[in-house]
């Protein structure tokens, strides 16, 4: 018998990206508001993505079943 396909969570697929090595990356906080007040260094650091912590990664693997 064939197995059923699992649906990918549409909110999770928009918010998280997966690297070639299989790490789940997320956007950093503090991006949306008060950009004029923030230092240039802070704004440059916000541009990078950050790896999701291990305990959240387990839950995200269930939401993103067809990722590495």
pLDDT for 25-66, tens place per residue?
Answer: 999 888 888 888 888 898 888 888 999 999 999 999 999 998
In a domain, 5, yes or no: no
In a domain, residue 68? The reply is no
Whether 58 maps to a domain, the answer reads yes
How far apart, in whole angstroms, are the C-alpha atoms of residue 43 and residue 28? 11
Domain count across the chain: 1
Does residue 2 form part of some domain?
A: no
Q: Residue 43: what pLDDT?
A: 86
Q: What is the pLDDT of residue 67?
A: 84
CATH number at residue 19: 4.10.410.60
Distance, CA of 25 to CA of 16 (rounded, Å): 6
Is 33 domain-assigned?
yes
Range list of H helices, 1-68: 10-15, 40-46, 54-63
Domain that holds residue 55: 10-63
Q: What is the DSSP letter of 3?
A: P
């Amino acid at each position: 018998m064939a197995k059923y396909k699992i649906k990918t969570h549409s909110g999770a697929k928009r918010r998280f990206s997966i690297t070639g090595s299989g790490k789940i990356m997320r956007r950093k906080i503090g991006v949306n508001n008060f950009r004029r007040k923030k230092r240039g260094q802070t704004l440059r650091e916000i541009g990078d993505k950050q790896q999701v912590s291990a305990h959240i990664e387990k839950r995200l693997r269930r939401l993103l079943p067809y990722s590495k």
